[in-house]
Amino acid sequence: MLASVLIALFGVFISSISQVMLKKSAMAKHDSALGEYLNPLVIGAYALFVGATLCSVIAFRQIPLSMGPILDATGYFYVVLFGITIFHEKIDRTKILALAIIIAGVLIYSSGV
């Protein structure tokens, strides 16, 4: 089951990367409306989304369905991390508190309490 959990977490991670790619593409200037959707970042991001979906399908063969939302919640951590490191966003107390609550929830669920 550990391997399936790791596959699910990897899927969440690559899904977060694809979100960054879509945001980078949205921030860029494009020559045409078609160019907004048919550029390497967007196509690559959707390819990663397909990979993330495949990871979920593989993982849910072994892990309980109830664990899915908990594992998906780890994506919020990646989004904050990427926001700070890639987009130079500022993190405030509210975001830190929200992230701490999410991490606490994941840890509580993982411990079986």
Specify the higher pLDDT residue, 91 or 47. Answer: 47
**pLDDT number for residue 34:** 92
113 band by pLDDT with thresholds 50, 70 and 90 = low
Mean pLDDT of 72-99: 91
Residue 108 is given by DSSP the state H
pTM for the model: 0.85
Parse the chain into domains and list their residue ranges: 2-111
Between CA 65 and CA 75 the distance in angstroms is: 17
Mean pLDDT of 12-38: 94
Tokens of 83: 């926001």
Which residue, among 12, 22, 2, 110, has the nearest Cα to 55 in the 3D structure? 12
CA angle 85, 70, 43 (to 5 degrees): 50
At 87, the amino acid letter reads F
107 band by pLDDT with thresholds 50, 70 and 90 = confident
